[in-house]
Amino acid sequence: MLFACVSLSALSFSTKLTGMTTHPDFWLGMFPSSVRCFAGLEGLEFIPGRMTEAGVEIATGTIARTLSQDPETGTVIGDSSAQELKDNRYYDVTYAAWKIGVAQGIGWSRLADYDLVTLRFTIDGQWEVALDPLMQVPARSGYPFRNIAAFNNAVPGQVLPGTPDLSGNRQLLSTSFDLYGKVSDRFFSTGFLDGLSVEFKFVWAPAFMTFSKGFGGYADYWKIWTYAQYGKMIHQKKDAEGNNRWSIGFSDEFEMRILGGEYVPEYARTLKSHIWWYEPENMTFIAKNTLRINYYGQQFFGDCIPYIYLFLDLNYSGGKLNNYTLEDKIASVWEGSFGVHAELQLFSMFHIYYEIGRVFMYTGDKEGVKGLQYSKTVRVTVSLPGGDGADWSN
């Protein structure tokens, strides 16, 4: 029925790499530890002149995670937690994730080959196995699954309230319904950012779609998420070859997530962009806004370019703490930071950057942070430039 709308001779099969993730312990994060790729049908056209894609995206590899809550109680791990728990917070996850569905473009945009609106419906899956850290380094050491009593005493079919996805044999197999949309009239190239992009998503992962309950982890959650980015180029000067000589502009990013359910796994808490310095608790609500002033330098070797930006973050998390069992914990946490980010982008894929800044505002009941706090980061990351077709990576 799906293919009756188009000529079978017009269909073609295509594959593309849609994302890469690095591990902080593997070569300083310089090389991917997990990848995402998409395979689908091209040539479908439910709406004349607009993009239609049907297919599957698969991701697999190893990623690093950190325990944020006590497995037995759900209490947030902080300065008052047992030393054994604090010393054994780090672990790695080998995983496979997939999306199966269809994406449809609607409307016009300033670029003839891009759609103003894209809607995507998929059935998502997540299989993962939690392991002790594969590499013991000073920043990430410990053996949480050997040393913490909650893990040693857990049996198949028993839920660890604070970390439901690590119950049983610490394997999770869960599926969910995912409705995603994107509205974008933004054009981006090296040294140039202009326009507005808005994304939104609704995810429902009911308990009956978790297939590891008899032997491993649990998942039963829902999520509402939105992300908006606006950029405006103030001035740009190009050389004789059309490359960026220097340019300056500003951008603003806003992200909001509402998350709840009986058993909220770690992977469901992911945000699109990291919150500088601060990792929020597993609260029902989180919102963040980041304002940047961007300066791009001389472009060279195609897409290689140095740039620097000043940033100002304002973040709020609050509501009820998920996976907390002692009693309902209602919290309200504010955090803000400012600083500078210097980066060298190589061929639109490799990013070598240095960040330095201060946390200037913090109120709430989280211990250990008072007044101005100084922090810095040096990191190498890998990403993929934007490609044609729908965005399957979010």
- pLDDT digits 0-9 by tens, 275-304: 766 777 899 999 999 999 999 999 888 788
**Cβ-contact 288, 254 below 8 angstroms:** yes
Second-level CATH architecture of 2-382 = Beta Barrel (2.40)
Q: pTM value?
A: 0.85
| Residue 6 reports pLDDT greater than 80 | no
Task: State residue 203's pLDDT score.
Answer: 96
Strand ranges (E), the chain:
12-22, 32-42, 52-66, 90-106, 117-131, 171-184, 187-189, 192-205, 220-238, 244-263, 283-296, 305-321, 330-346, 350-363, 373-382
Q: Which carries the bigger pLDDT value, residue 392 or residue 93?
A: 93
- In percent, how much of the chain has pLDDT > 70? 80
